């Protein structure tokens, strides 16, 4: 798994960062009706306000699935909110437009 991510420019430090929570999981193969047929998939937890609201899974080669009824949010939305909050230095007034 690490080599696959490295080939895409994603470091091992990023993978092991607890906040990202990327992991390998055995799950039924995408598109297979045989629930006994387990394959390794990469699990990407999607968080909103610190809570996991969806997990998307990628099977190699490129096949995807996700948690049933999972919330659709951007990956890393909490990081985006934190960065945006740090960049706001002053409120915008109506007269400045």
Question: Could you give the angle at the alpha carbon of 9 between the alpha carbons of 5 and 11, nearest 5°?
Answer: 65
In 1-97, which ranges are continuous DSSP H helix?
A: 2-6, 12-16, 77-87
pLDDT in tens, 15-40: 777 667 788 888 888 888 877 888 88
pTM: 0.66
**Neighbour count for residue 40 (Cβ, 10 Å):** 13
pLDDT for 84 equals 63
């Amino acid at each position: 798994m690490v080599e696959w991510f490295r080939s895409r420019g994603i470091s091992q430090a990023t993978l092991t960062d607890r906040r990202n929570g990327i992991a390998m999981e055995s799950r039924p193969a995408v598109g297979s009706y045989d629930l006994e047929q387990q394959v390794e998939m990469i699990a990407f937890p999607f968080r909103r306000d610190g809570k996991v609201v969806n997990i998307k899974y990628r099977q190699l080669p490129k096949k995807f699935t996700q948690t049933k009824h999972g919330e659709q949010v951007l990956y890393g939305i909490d990081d985006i909110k934190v960065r945006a909050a740090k960049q706001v230095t002053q409120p915008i007034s109506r007269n400045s437009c």
